[in-house]
Amino acid sequence: MAITDPFHDARSADFSGGGKSALFGGKVGETLPAGGVPPADYLIDESVCDSEGNWAFCRFLSDEVYAARLGFQKGSFNILEHDQPADPSLLQLHLELMTRDGAVLWIPTGSFDARKVSSSRRELDVRFEEAGREIFSIRGWPTMRWRFQSSEGEVEADLEFTVASVSLLPDCVLPHCIFAMWETMGDARGTVRFRDRTTEVRGKVFYDHPRIRHQRNQVEPRRWYLYTTMFLEDGSGFFGYHAEDTGGHPLAYYCFGVYVDAAGRGTYLPEARLRDLRITEHNTPGSWRLDWRGPGAEIDARITVKPTELLASWGSPIAPKTAKDFIILPLVLDGAVTVRREGRVHAMKGCGLAEYFNADFWSA
């Protein structure tokens, strides 16, 4: 297959930062105060994309519940190499808790109709009800309240997020769509519950807002990606991606990081290297090392994953029976991180939540 410049074909961003996203305003790599983000970039807008969602990756300072991933995506999209029809009525939905006793996964993707999700055009207010029960709601900006619960009431999260800034990431140009996204890091607090056990939690949230447009692009297919988030002892943090094509070569435009200091100021880091990646018997990463560099900042992170087994999983046929069945199991992270910035070197501990996807192990 002849490979052309994906940014030229998709009218997307130059991977060095500063270009224009196909589906959001602002410049790629730019971090803005949350109050300065136009509503058009955080509200659901079906006129500009085929699929849109909200996802929260939470890492808590708790010995009982380490992390949570929750969110939804309206309308299907294809991130794979082969063509497949997209179903606009598909609602992807996850509510997952990573606990001391194991992973609790409620994944009813494909069970509900995305067309029943309601959203306001004036303010961030997204809701979904089924059989008289509110399954999820997301309200407010830049302080948000996220409430998610399973349809039978087994698992629940009631969380408040306060975000200070938003960073626009490069568009990921895939053979059958454009995947655009912004990311924000903020404070998280609230409660989570599994069955009759409720836990108060606080920590950080990495909240992303993806928009997808269906279109064919003459680009090398993406084989796998690793999405890493981590916050540090001084209140700063970082997030970003490493992705490789089917030939095992890094996709330069989608290997990057963003460092956000404690005041919410972001630095885009386009030079990226992933080293020492160790894959476990579950076909997911067990540890790795990241180097991200850019004007004014460098990050060197040695990262390990807390081992976990499956405690409970239900909701749909795609809900896994074992941890090995679920290639996108949330990965609970601890890290030793060195940040070089403004002529100073800071060595700190960090923790976060990651997501790994490998098409070789993905079941259609």
Contacts of 122 by beta carbon, 8 Å cutoff, 6+ apart: 39
Which two three-digit tokens encode residue 333? Answer: 């992270």
Per-residue pLDDT tens for 243-262? 999 999 999 889 999 999 99
The per-residue pLDDT for 14 is 44
CA distance 3 to 14: 16
The per-residue pLDDT for 88 is 85
Residue 15 pLDDT level (bands cut at 50, 70, 90): very low
Residue 11 pLDDT level (bands cut at 50, 70, 90): very low
Q: Is the pLDDT of residue 29 over 80?
A: yes
The per-residue pLDDT for 8 is 28
Helix (H) or strand (E) holding 8: helix 6-10
Q: Is the pLDDT of residue 174 over 70?
A: yes
Least confident of 40-54, 68-82, 141-155, 252-266: 68-82
The per-residue pLDDT for 213 is 94
What is the b/e burial string over 270-305, where b = at least 16 CB atoms within 10 angstroms of the residue's CB? bebebeeeeeeebbbbbbbbbbbbbeebbbbbbbbb
Q: What mean pLDDT comes out for the span 307-331?
A: 91
Least confident of 17-21, 129-133, 181-185: 17-21
Least confident of 26-30, 62-66, 94-98, 142-146: 26-30
The per-residue pLDDT for 5 is 32
Backbone phi and psi for residue 10, each to the nearest 5 degrees, phi listed first: -95, 0
Contacts of 47 by beta carbon, 8 Å cutoff, 6+ apart: none
The pTM score is: 0.93
> Which candidate, 246, 333, 287, places its Cα nearest to that of 69?
333
Q: Is the pLDDT of residue 33 over 90?
A: yes
The per-residue pLDDT for 87 is 85
Q: Is the pLDDT of residue 179 over 60?
A: yes
Residue 127 pLDDT level (bands cut at 50, 70, 90): very high
The per-residue pLDDT for 18 is 67
Q: Is the pLDDT of residue 223 over 50?
A: yes
Q: Is the pLDDT of residue 86 over 80?
A: no
Q: What mean pLDDT comes out for the span 94-100?
A: 98
The per-residue pLDDT for 85 is 75
The per-residue pLDDT for 26 is 87
Per-residue pLDDT tens for 129-170? 999 999 999 999 999 999 999 999 999 999 999 999 999 999
CA distance 177 to 85: 12
Q: Is the pLDDT of residue 346 over 50?
A: yes
Residue 28 pLDDT level (bands cut at 50, 70, 90): very high
The per-residue pLDDT for 363 is 59
The per-residue pLDDT for 2 is 28
Mean pLDDT of all residues belonging to the chain: 91
